[in-house]
Structures are given as structure tokens and as C-alpha cells.
Structure 1
Amino acid sequence: MFRKKINSTYGIIKAAVSLLLVISLTGCSLSGGDKKAENTKAPASTVKQAEVKTLSKEDAFAKAAQYLKNMSVEQKVGQLFVVNLEQLDSSKGSYYEWKKCSKKMKEAIKKNSIGGVIMFSRNIGKRKQTKKLIKEIQKAADIPAFVTVDEEGGEVARIAGNPDMKTTKYPSMEDVGKKKDADYVNNMGKTIGNDIKKLGFNVDFAPVADVKTSNLNLEIGSRSFGKDPDKVAELVEAFVKGIQSTNVSATLKHFPGQGSSKGDTHIENVNIDSSIAALRKVDFVPFEKGIKAGADFVMVSHISVSRVTETAQPASMSELIMKTILREELGFEGVIITDAMDMASITDKYSSEEAALGAFEAGADIILMPMDFEEAYKNILSAVDSGEIGMDRLDESVQRILTVKFMRGIIPENVDSPVQAATAQAVTTTPQ
């Protein structure tokens, strides 16, 4: 089921809507950007930070393997989802500005063993309120959660865009890219990491690793470091190393590269006419550099690359894109997360159940914001129960998720089961 051809009048409306989406939408979309008081000066050459203790990847993997043995199937499936607060409690509408953890939210987090939550500008008011909200989310979780946010800098700054948060505000990544200063970007990563970690966040959906090769690209636009793949790669590497030195996970997005697109996946199906040779020469370069730098996450886009896959299937549901290219060719061993699954490029063609199951079967580890979380969860659980999804496949993804949670200290290293984790979480305070 593909979107029917639009007429010219709708095309005009679509363009206007696309511009509005540059201001606010889902997932890794644009919102929360107060352009005043931007930090246009380079940060100090060295950002002071407390020494961060981390488990090695090998030790974290071993801890995760032990923890995995003590999880139920229902808990494992729950770990595959990162949802927004409104999906946990829709009693006041899809975009209600939840700034506290309601009773219904707490029950949903506990019942479904949610892998993580994503917070938007509408959920972030004051520092004290944000810390309390995150603390309540973690207290409700039987398995400590990923608490994620789009904090790219520039226009996409859910936290720095709020003056009440009193964090460092940066110019657009396009302007940052013009500096061609990797030290600046490394320190920017450290600063953003320190700023959001103090609030309780542990995953940043940044940096944008797209190479902007089309001036008609509205969805990425000034969020990209530029059009030179080697320079973008250098800055992506610097950001990843900077933010992960604070023990906040980085996310390379939007694989396989969305810089040449001329449409907006929030409102339509988008295909890029790139060959595999072109992707390797341009789009993959920053992702390869970010992967070698140790990025914990890669976010896969909903664009189609029909010349490569020979289908109109979105990348987020393509085994060729995620397994053959991202895993095998580029060697990524971390967590693959989809872009937000409530975007029109998905919802126009698939139900929540179809999209979640299709993405997981194709190689995604985490499903971000399915339109109907409950139905998506039930469908994957049913597929596991019926044997359509093997336990080995489920464990493979949950192992990756838990490894990052141990490596970043989200799950304490002395914990080897969800029961212990819940007890430890109940007495843990949010960083001040």
C-alpha cells in the first residue's frame, strides 16, 4: 500500500507542512530551538568533568549475558521499545505536555518492562521538574531504562532550547561545520553530555551523520555538518568521542544517509536515487568513522533506496540495509534503533504491528515510538511465542541493549537480575 500520487494543490500544502515540521515533530525531528543566546564561541580546549568509570565492552557483554538468563520473555520483548510519555498514558491526548510521571505511566513502564523513553520539549520545563520526572521513570522500571533526547545542538535542542534549563546553546551544525574544528566539536560533545547527564538522560540521539548533498533537503538542512563527507566524518567522530567520554551514548543518524533526499519522511514516502557506489563514496563515510569511534547506537531512516534494495521498502525495514550493509559491511556491533515509527512514511503503508515486527525481523534492535505501542508489543510477543521469531534472535538484540546499559552504568555492574535492578534503582538518586 503506497501513497497515491498527489495533485499540485496538495504539493503546495505539503511543502508548507514540511517547513512547519522543521520546527516540531517526532523522533529526530526538529523542535525546541530558541535561537537566542547561541554559543558561537568555541568552548574551552578542555572541558572539565569528573572521571567517568565505565565497564569495558567485554565485561559489559559478560554481565549482560548473565542478566539475560534471569529475564522473562515478556521483559525481553519490552526492552525492544523506546516510547514517548504520551504512549504510556494517552488519557489526555497524543501530545499532552506531560511533565510528571502519572500513575498510569508508572504501571505501563513496570508492566511492559519498557526499554526506554524519549522526552521532548513539551516534557521538559524546569531543571528540578525534569530531574524528578526522570527519577520517577527509573524508579518505576524493573530494568533501568534508556532515557533519550534529541540534543543535537542548533535547531534541535530540546534542553538547551529551553532557557530555564540553563545549559549551553550552540549554533546550527551547519555553522559549526564551517569552523572545521574537531576540537570544538569534541568539547561540544562533552558539554552536551555533561549537561544532559546531570538531568538524568543517558542517550543522546546525536550526532547527525548525514552529508548534505542537496540544497532542497528540508528534513536535514542545517542539522548536517556539511557536504564534504571527509570533513563531516571528522566532526562526527569528534562528537561521538566527546559525548561518550561523559558516559552518555551517542547515536549516528540517519543511516544509510539522508543528506540527498528532497522529501520529508515525517509526511511522505521518500526514495533517494543513490547507487551503492555513491553511498559508499559519500553517505557511508561519516557512519564508518562514527562506528570506529565506538558509537553505541545507529538510527536507521525510513527512506527507501530502491537502486540498492530493488524495492520501495524503507531502510528501517530492510534486511539488506541493516544486516548486510550496516552489520556485515560496516561492522557495526552496537544497537540499531529505527527512526520514529509514527512518521507518515511508515504509518501510510503499515500498521503498528506490521511495522514493528517487520523492522525487528529485518535486524533492528529497538523500535522507536510505534504508533500503537501496545499492539506492536503484543505482536512481537506473539511472534516469539509462536516460534516465528526464534529465542536466539530475541536474545541477540536484548544482549546488545543490556551490554550498552551495563557499559554506561545504567544498570549497576553488581546487579545480575531485574529484581536486583529494581531494588537498586529504588534507592538511586538522579545526578545533581
Structure 2
Amino acid sequence: MLAALLATGCSSGVGAASPAPSPRTSAPVSVSPPPPSPSARPSGSLAERTLAAMSLRDKVAQLFTIVVWGQKAGAASKENEARYGVGTPAQVVEKFRPGGVILFDWAGNVSGASQVAALTTGLREAAARSGEAPLMIGVDQENGLVSRLKSLVTTFPGASEIGETGKTANARDVARATGEELRDLGISLDFAPVADVNINPRNPVIGPRAYGSDPGKVAAMVGAAVDGFHAADVASVAKHFPGHGDTSVDSHTGLPVITHSKTQWRKLDAPPFRTAIAHDVDAIMSAHVVMPKLDPSGDPATLSHRILTGLLREELGFDGVISTDALDMAGVRKKYGDAEVAVRAVLAGADVLLMPPNLPKAYDAVLDAVKSGRISERRIDESVLRILRLKEKRGVFGPIRTDPGALKSAAHRKVAERVFAVVR
């Protein structure tokens, strides 16, 4: 039951024993989008120049990370046709110009290493043909219970098993090896690590996905994992803010309520996120949970300005990318319609709108909110600049090399064996 529910949501330096990164000798398979013409090129970073060249419509499109159906960029799918009005994943990217795509096995995106590498290459090429900004391709590869790439990649222990070892070097090494294999597939962002402190044994959605139940120990593991992903030059996403560990309700199917006071939150939930921020985590994902003592409005954190802006931005000082959890989950759809949810998430402080159930409706709602003045264009620019800076930092402007034959290397298998040996 749990695995079935997880299939639709949530999409999270190395120790002396760590192997050196696998060499990447493959030829580049994609190119960065053409830069603005010299006469139109303002001063500033590549991210700033790209933003300056974008239309309002393209800036709004950058906020969305979506699902596409199919194994090949150029192969048509009835699911794409029904949802987007075009058949192939490449046509979806060309039509809507989203900021990102997230891959899923249940969307038919994952069947073989060479296939995934070809798909990511084709999607990036479609983005380069259609807009100023490159496409960020991500995946939920937490390892353990949530492993979207299945048998394609090295089987590593999940977070709870790593936490049981008590060694942060294991969290670093597994994250680094995972990140290297994602890069070999053309994937630049992992929606990991889970930063929740699993203090409720009845928790139906986090459980073994967390490093443990002790805030300090979880924080240390999360910081090490962020370091590991960065050593592989892959973007990391700490989730699910402000904390999804103390709930007995699954936000895929309901709206959890957590009654922690602000003092309890600072002691129990916040430490892993503070540590992730201290380790320069690229992004933080919101939770579809209500915490009435942090925000009495009754809105889930994903739609709460007090939580995303007040706590995450202002109290914790995070200036990276804030991503919503999947917007097709029941926990965020109970109070408002799918169009209004997208608008309210932006107003709350979110930068990335993940997996809207109806992309055209959500896109139009955000665009209309900007045109009406409900959301300022300056606010959109702030989010887009964060997204573009992340892409620049992680090399998404290209070229990106893939090397699917490098997966499951001997060095990575040794990392897995070493950690499993301690757990078992």
C-alpha cells in the first residue's frame, strides 16, 4: 500500500574511504541554448543575462517542473496528448518551455540506462530549440523505499539504514555515488535528502525514508548527504519543510495536521533544515502539512507565507530555490482549486511549482495573476533568477555529458557493500 502511494508523490567532501569520481570521457550530447545577441546582452552573470532576455510568458513557464510520458523524446504518448495537446515529450517541452522535468518509472521514463540518457538528451535539445533557458532534469532517487531508477543504478541503502550506522561519511559516500550515476544519465537534480525527523512511529509516509528520530543525528546525516551530492555536482533538495516527521496521515491522500509549537518546531523539526542550509543546499521542498501553531490560517505549509517566507526565508536565512511538493497530492488540493493553488504557492514564497495536475490551467492562473497585479513581475523575476542561478551553478547551461555504461561501477558497489555490511 505504501509503495503504491509513494509512486505518485514527493517527489530529495567525501570520507577518506570514498573512491574518486568516475571519469566522464563521453562526448557532449547536448549544447546550451544560444546566448542573447551581443547588442542585447546586458552585463551580469549568465543567469541574469538569460533572465533579461526572457518574455513574461517564458519566465512564468520556468516556475513549472512537470511530468512527461514515454521512453523516448520523439515518441508519442496518449497521456501527453490528453494532458498537453501534443504527443511526444519533446513537443511538450517545446510547447510549454517548462523550467524542469521530473522522471518517473510509472510515467514510462525508465527502462534502461542508455534509454534514460537518450531521453534526457532529447529533452534538453528540445528546450534548447525553443527557449532561452536550459531544462533542469530531476528525479526522486532517495535510495531505499523511493528509488525511481530501480535496477538501472547501484542499489544503495536507504536513509534509515545509513542513519543506523551512525557514520556521516556513509551518508556522504552514498549521496556522492548516487549523484555520479545521475550525472551519467543526464540528470542534474535529486529530490533528496529527506530532512524529516521521524518521531512518530505511526508515520505512514516518511518512516524509513528518514535518517532517524534524533534531530541532531538526522541533521548531521543531512548535511553530509548534501556535501556528497555537491561533490558529484548534482543539485540536492532537502525535504519536506517545515517537517513531515510527526504525522499519522499521508499527505498523498489527506491533509496532515502537526501541533508542534514554534519552540518544539525549532527543537525537533528545524535542525536538519538549518544544517542543510549551512551546507549550501540547492533547494528545499515544502510539505503539504498544516502546522496551526506556526500558521493559524489552516493552509498547508506549501501555501503559507508565514512558513515559507517567514520561517524558511527570514528566520533560517535560506535564499536558494523553494520547491513545492507535488501539486497533484491530495494534501494541497483540499481547500483550493488547482489554478488557485499554483498562485497561492507563488505568493507564499515557492519558486518551483512541481507536478501541477493541470499544467495549462496552473500556468494560465499564474500568468493572469501577474497581468492583474496580484503577483508582481518582480516577484516572478526573483524566483526565476534563483532557478537560473541554480542551473548555472550545477552546469545545466551545458554541455552535459552522459555515460550510461559507467553505472554500477566497482567503486560504487564497494560503497554499497561497505554500508550494507555495517547495517546487517
Amino acid at match of 1:49: P
Q: 1:304 to 1:268 in 2, by over 3 A?
A: same
Tell me which residue corresponds to 2:415: none
Aligned twin of 1:66:
49
TM-score for the superposition, normalised by structure 1: 0.81
- Tell me the secondary structure at the aligned position of residue 123 of structure 2: helix
CA distance in 2, matches of 1:246, 1:189: 8
The alignment partner of 1:74 has SS state of: helix
Q: Deviations over 1:129-182 (max 9, x none)?
A: 1111111110110321111101111111112x22xx1x2212231121010111
Q: Provide the residue aligned with 2:148 in structure 1.
A: 158
Matches within 5 A, 1:312-327: 312-327=298-313
1:22 deviation in Å?
5.1
Structure 1 runs (4+) greater than 6 angstroms displaced:
87-90
Letter in 1 for 2:268: V
The answer on 1:75 being equivalent to 2:58 is yes
Q: State the AA in 2 paired with 1:73.
A: L
C-alpha distance in 2 between matches for 1:243 and 1:347: 32
Equivalent residue for 2:18? 46
Give, in whole Å, the separation in 2 of the partners of 1:355 and 1:120: 23
Structure 2 residue aligned with 1:221? 207
Aligned in 2, Cα 1:202/1:20: closer, same or farther, shift over 3 Å? closer
Aligned to 1:116: 100
2:295 and 2:139 map into 1 onto residues whose CA distance is 31
1:288 alignment counterpart: 274
Instruction: For 1:6-405, list aligned pairs within 5 A.
Output: 19=2, 21=4, 24-28=7-11, 45-49=17-21, 62-86=45-69, 92-93=78-79, 103-122=87-106, 123-141=109-127, 142=131, 143-159=133-149, 161-162=150-151, 165=152, 167-405=153-391
Query: 1:26, CA displacement in angstroms?
Result: 2.2
Q: Judging changes above 3 Å, is the alpha-carbon distance between structure 1 residues 309 and 90 closer, same or farther for their aligned structure 2 residues?
A: farther
Task: Quote how far apart the aligned CAs of 1:20 are.
Answer: 5.0
Q: Is the 8 A contact 1:352 1:373 kept in 2?
A: no
Deviation at 1:429, TM superposition (A): 5.5
Which letter does structure 2 place at the counterpart of 1:353?
Answer: A
Q: 1:292 to 1:118 in 2, by over 3 A?
A: same
The code of the aligned residue for 2:97 comes to S
Q: Give, in whole Å, the separation in 1 of the partners of 2:51 and 2:403.
A: 27
CA contact (8 A) 1:43 1:188 kept: no
* Counterparts in 2 of 1:400 and 1:92: CA distance versus 1, 3 Å: same
Identity of aligned residues (%): 35
> Contact 1:297/1:336 (CA < 8 Å) preserved in 2?
yes
State the AA in 2 paired with 1:75.
D
TM-score by length of 2: 0.83
The 1:190/1:20 distance shift into structure 2, 3 A limit, reads closer
Ranges in structure 2 where 5+ consecutive residues have no aligned partner: 25-42, 405-424
Deviation per CA, 1:239-271, whole angstroms, max 9, x where unpaired? 000111111000000000010011000001111
- 2:190–2:236 Cα contact (<8 Å) kept: yes
1:307 aligned counterpart, secondary structure: coil
Task: State the one-letter code of the partner of 2:102.
Answer: I
Native 8 Å contact 1:45 1:184 kept in 2? no
1:208-266 Cα shifts (integer Å, max 9, x gaps): 00001000001001000001111100010000001111110000000000100110000
Q: CA deviation at 1:396?
A: 0.4
- CA shift, 1:106, in A, is 2.0
Distance 1:334 1:241, change over 3 A: same
Is the 1:275–1:308 Cα contact (8 Å) retained in structure 2?
Answer: yes
Query: What's the secondary structure of 1:196's corresponding residue?
Result: helix
Seen in structure 2, the aligned counterparts of structure 1 residues 103 and 136 have a Cα distance that, compared at 3 Å, is: farther
**Cα offsets for 1:291-340 (capped at 9, x unmatched):** 11010010001100012201210000000000010001001110000000
The residue number in structure 1 matching 2:421 is none
Contact 1:302 1:315 in 2 (8 A): yes
Residue identity matched to 1:296? D
3-state secondary structure, aligned to 2:332: helix
SS in 1 for 2:285: strand
User: 1 CA distance for matches of 2:115 and 2:77?
Assistant: 21
CA shift in 2, pair 1:282/1:51, >3 Å: farther
Gaps of 5+ in 1: 1-16, 30-41, 53-59, 97-101, 413-424
> Offset of 1:379 from its aligned partner?
0.9
SS in 1 for 2:78: coil
Output the CA distance in 1 between the equivalents of 2:81 and 2:225: 31
TM-superposition CA deviations, 1:335-387 (whole Å, max 9, x none): 00000000011223222211100100110001001110111001111111222
CA RMSD of aligned residues (A): 2.6
Seen in structure 2, the aligned counterparts of structure 1 residues 431 and 391 have a Cα distance that, compared at 3 Å, is farther
1:404 to 1:20, Cα distance in 2 relative to 1, 3 A: closer
Q: How many residues align?
A: 373
